[in-house]
Structure formats: C-alpha cells, structure tokens
Amino acid sequence: MRFPLHITTDNVFHQIRQARQGHQRYPMVLMLEPLYTCNLACLGCSTERHTGKLTDRLSLEQCFQAVEQSGAPGVSICGGEPTVYPELKGLVEGIIERNRHIYLCTNALLLDTKLFGVVPPHKRLTINVHLDGMRDTHDYVCDRQGVFDKAIEMIRRGKQLGYHMITNTTIFKETRIEEVEELLALMETIGTDGMLISPGYEYESVDRDIFLSRRETEEKFQRILELSKKHRITSTPMFLEFAAGLRDFRCSPWSTVTYTPLGWKGPCYLIGQKYYETWDEFWNDVDWDYWESRQDVRCQNCKMHSGFETSAVREAGKSPRELLRLAAWNFLG
C-alpha cells in the first residue's frame, strides 16, 4: 500500500464531510512554515527562506490555530528547516493530538540530534527527506558538500528506529533521468516508504537558470512515467501523466494552503502575492476562479504537486475506471 490506511481513510472521510456541507473548495494539506530560518541555502529555494531570523518564528499557539482553521487532514511542516524550530517536539505532539497527519519536510542534517530520540515514531508522523539526486547533484543543489551522505545516513537510521521515511525529489534542468532511476533503486534498497517526484518551480526571487520550461518538464516526466511502472513512486499516475503533458487540469491552489511568519500566503504555496493576517481574509479575498484558470503569467510553466495533485485525484473521482485505477495503484502498488 502506497499510503497507510489511516491516511487514505482520513482523506476520504474529509472529502465526504466537505461534500455533504456543500463545499467545492477546501484544504487537504496545510503547508506550515513555522520559521524561515534554514541551515542551508539551496539553489532552488525561494530566497525569502534564506534570511529569516529565528526570533521571527511562529508561536505554537499560532501554529495550532492555523491547523484548526484550515481544517486540512494533512500538515506539511516545512520552512525554513523545521528541525531548527526550537519548539519542534511540542509542535509535532500538538498536531498529532489534533488527529492530523504530519509530513515533516527536512534536509535531514539535524534529524539525529533534534528528532530521533526526542519525538518517538508515530503512525501520524512521516519524515519527508529532501533529496534532489545522487551525491554530486544533491550537494550542488544544496550548495554544500556532504549533505547527500548525511541524508542517506539519516534515512537508514530513521528506518531502523521505526519512523515512516519518505523522500521528495525536485526535477531540475540538470537532473538526469538515469540518476533519478539510480536514486529510486537506492531508496528501494534502503526500504524507504515512498518517493515523491515533482517539477521545480521558477520562484520570482530565484534568478538562476536551473528550472524547467513546460516542454522540458513534459519531456523529463514522460521518462519518469516509464520509471513509475518499475519503481514505487508516491506521486499518483494521474499527476505524473499531467506532468508529462498527456492530460491537463485546472489548478487547485486552495487544496494546499500556506501559513508563514508573515501570515496566510495567497494565492498559493509558490506565489506570495499577498499575506493575510486572518484565515477569513485569506480564504474570502483570493480570487480562486482566476488562479484555478492558470491564466496568470506566473502559472504558465507551473506543474507543481501542491497545485495539481488534488486536481488529478478529483478528476479520477469522476470516472469509475480511473477511480479503480487509483485504488489499485494505492492498495496494490
């Protein structure tokens, strides 16, 4: 099974509840950025995340309020680097108490000192390690030697200790697909619980020429789609087909809402056009029709997981054949 049963059932029940209440748009994942501080300055990261001061972090109360207000069954703790957040233990425990599932997105450098032995394994906690290729590529993207080796050591240690460990790989212009296959094989040897693959996004604040145009994305993902037939990639087949240019969806920016030290980020995880102090202002002010249509120039090359995975799953829900395919992919894969 690609997703543990409790995650699948929580998500399905959440969607049924929302449909019964007549809601067309609702969050599935809260991207919680409790701090902008990071111990790396990766090339593909928005520069706003390189400069944050630790004093500017969210309080635990602000984090929990965002969890409650969004209502999303999943909380992706990102940042910044969440293992640098001083209140990490309380944050993880408080979100678990609220029956949400956590994806702790980390570069893994501090897992041994800040998480292992501090927060015990739990079925609602998934550790999601950023891994953008084999050693040379990953260390290049992270702009530091040794990051790859440390991440691999932490993934092995996490598995030994009983944590649910997955990886998240962004595909850049430099990414060789042969290398992605090598990485998939290595993760299978280690026994990781899943591997997400997503195209990079051209942040307004990133000026390096490493991101993919739409055509380049589609070419690379046509090959990744082939790899998904042999390897256990966690991105849904419908999303991979979309990334490969074989089908098209409207965006679902409301499905992945983002809360940061600056407030609620609108319209989406990638574009911080405006930050809102309150949930109601954010939810009622963003022009969802406009952003769903992808007519904005900043949407033209975007094929991001955060905008389109929900679109892909929703589309599958309209066809019994696609729904069966999705169920088979999750339960038999």
* Shortest distance (Å) from residue 324 CB to ligand SF4: 28
CA torsion through residues 103, 107, 111, 115, sign: negative
Query: Please, which residue, 192 or 310, has the CB nearer to ligand SF4?
Result: 310
Query: Please, which residue, 204 or 277, has the CB nearer to ligand SF4?
Result: 204
* 60: enclosing H helix or E strand: helix 60-70
Query: Please, which residue, 197 or 251, has the CB nearer to ligand SF4?
Result: 251
* Shortest distance (Å) from residue 330 CB to ligand SF4: 23
* Shortest distance (Å) from residue 292 CB to ligand SF4: 8
Name the phi and psi angles at 161, rounded to 5. Answer: -85, -5
Query: Please, which residue, 179 or 315, has the CB nearer to ligand SF4?
Result: 315
* Shortest distance (Å) from residue 273 CB to ligand SF4: 10
Number of H helices, E strands in the chain: 13, 9
Name the phi and psi angles at 331, rounded to 5. Answer: -85, -30
Query: Please, which residue, 33 or 193, has the CB nearer to ligand SF4?
Result: 33
* Shortest distance (Å) from residue 28 CB to ligand SF4: 14
**Cα(333)–Cα(331) distance, integer angstroms:** 6
**Cα(2)–Cα(330) distance, integer angstroms:** 5
Residue ranges in contact with ligand SF4 by CB under 6 A: 251, 253, 267-268, 270-271, 291, 294, 298-299, 302, 304, 306-307
Q: What pairing do the DSSP bridges indicate for beta strands 263-267 and 256-260?
A: antiparallel
Q: Which residue in the shown chain puts its C-beta closest to ligand SF4? A: 307
Angle between helices 88-97 and 60-70 (to 10 degrees): 30
